[in-house]
Amino acid sequence: MRTHILYTGGTLGMVPTPDGLAPGADLTGWLDQLLSGTELAGTFETLSFEHLIDSANATPADWGRIVDNLWAHREEADSFVVLHGTDTLAYTSAALSYALTDFGKPVVVTGSQYSLGVVGTDAAPNVTGALRAVTSGRLHGVAVFFGHKLLRGNRVTKSSSWAYNGFDSPAAPQLARTGAPWQWIENDSTGCGWLDPRPYRRHDVLVVDLSPGLSAARLRAVLDPLPEAVILRAFGVGNVPSDEPGLVDVILDVISAGTPVVVASQCMQADVLLGHYQSSHALAEGGAISAHDMTLEALYAKLVFLLSQGLRGKELGRWVETDIAGEISM
């Protein structure tokens, strides 16, 4: 089995310089040494982007670059590992899951909290774990390996900036956990898929967090000019401060103007139930869309994906609530 390893940037491959950490590690040499004498020795090829990404600067165009690279090497490899910075790794893994539903080969995204040259780095266990997972014959679709856990790529969120188990899957079980032997959970592909998707394009998707005391005037100012779509991160199961004068009217005006409003929860674990409480009844009646139990990263990438496919209006809303790649519990 041949594995294509793509290094896109991030802490894992950085080395100390007088100006701070910068790309420069010999990834191929490090991997050769790391895997020497194992069953994975000589079974991989590495490629680095010419212009490496600090993942804090990643955009949908970079998601597209990764997708294009994987497709370009699909016929010569059986499995794929993407090395990525941790800041926006969960956005990228979700984006890949939508764009690669018809890819037919496993993809694992990983990174590290420490660069590979640091004593005690998590780079080695994360990369070897990703390689074990992607060559196991048991993985379907896009996953993230981090901190001894294999997680569905569109169900993860970054939960810590420093812990070695820095990613979690709050609304879905992990796919596997390392051990002797690994402990696997059934991970059959779910979702309807998307054949021959158009490439990712940058779109104006605004994320708004509600907070106690937020005024209608402030919310209206944030939404002017109107974006292409709004993710409204509400309380609990989708509740909003409905007693705040004019605030619900601002949201309903946005929907009436043709901008979809998707209501998500600020909770790590939640299923958005619009209309379950009186405080969200008006939004349910006014045409707001439920994010159900999607993570913010999965929802944001999904909206950009759907907008990139040319969807708007009610059709976009219907697809937000449709399971494409296992990102939503239905």
CATH of domain 205-320: 3.40.50.40
Q: Tell me: pLDDT of 186 over 80.
A: no
Instruction: Specify the pLDDT at position 189.
Output: 67
User: For all residues of the chain together, what is the average pLDDT?
Assistant: 95
Report the catalytic residues. 11
**Arithmetic mean of pLDDT, 210-229:** 98
- Domain residue spans in the chain? 3-184, 205-320
Q: Tell me: pLDDT of 79 over 90.
A: yes
Side-chain half-sphere exposure of 153, counting CA atoms within 13 A: 34
Q: What is the pTM of this model?
A: 0.96
The β-bridge partners of 154 are none
**Arithmetic mean of pLDDT, 140-148:** 97
Instruction: List pLDDT tens digits, range 113-128.
Output: 999 888 899 999 999 9
H-helix segments, 54-164: 60-72, 89-99, 123-134
* CATH topology identical between 3-184 and 205-320: yes
Instruction: List pLDDT tens digits, range 261-297.
Output: 999 999 999 999 999 999 899 999 999 999 999 999 9
Q: Which residue has the higher pLDDT, 279 or 111?
A: 111
Q: Tell me: pLDDT of 190 over 90.
A: no
Instruction: Specify the pLDDT at position 17.
Output: 83
* Contacting residues for 114 by C-beta, under 8 A, at least 6 apart: 11, 120, 121, 122, 123
Q: Which residue in 142, 150, 140 sits closest to 187, CA to CA?
A: 140
CATH level 2 (architecture), domain 3-184: 3-Layer(aba) Sandwich (3.40)
**DSSP classification of residue 287:** T
Instruction: Specify the pLDDT at position 32.
Output: 93
Q: Tell me: pLDDT of 330 over 80.
A: no
